[in-house]
């Protein structure tokens, strides 16, 4: 999953549309690559549940970083936070594709 602020509320940020646009491009870059993994994007409070103290909220709210994201890597709950080593290259390749898409899409 690719999270944008806010995680602690379902309220949208003033940059919500832009954050969603860029997050969608990141997820699409992964899906359209040879890896073809499917990432969801949006607020964690809408995709999963509300949570306070999440990184994307702090970076956006306290530091004013418009493009603030958190990512939950490829596992869907089977391995928890102990993803087997055989998935490391794939996870890294996914994130590189997504980061390239974000860099090209940001409006600075």
Beta strands in 37-82 (DSSP E): 41-43, 70-71
What residues form DSSP beta bridges with 41?
2
Residue with tokens 């980061």: 99
Q: What is the DSSP string of 47-60?
A: HT---TT-HHHHHH
Can 72 be counted among the known catalytic residues?
Answer: yes
* Active-site hit among 24, 56, 72, 94: 72
Residues serving a catalytic function are: 72
């Amino acid at each position: 999953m690719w999270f944008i602020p806010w995680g602690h509320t379902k309220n949208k940020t003033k940059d919500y549309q832009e954050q969603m646009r860029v997050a969608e491009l990141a997820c699409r870059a992964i899906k359209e690559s040879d890896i073809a993994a499917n990432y969801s994007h949006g607020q964690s409070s809408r995709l999963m549940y509300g949570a306070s103290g999440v990184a994307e909220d702090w970076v956006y709210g306290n530091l004013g970083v418009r493009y603030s994201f958190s990512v939950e890597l490829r596992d869907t709950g089977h391995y928890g936070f102990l993803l087997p080593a055989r998935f490391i290259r794939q996870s890294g390749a996914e994130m590189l594709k997504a980061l390239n898409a974000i860099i090209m899409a940001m409006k600075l």
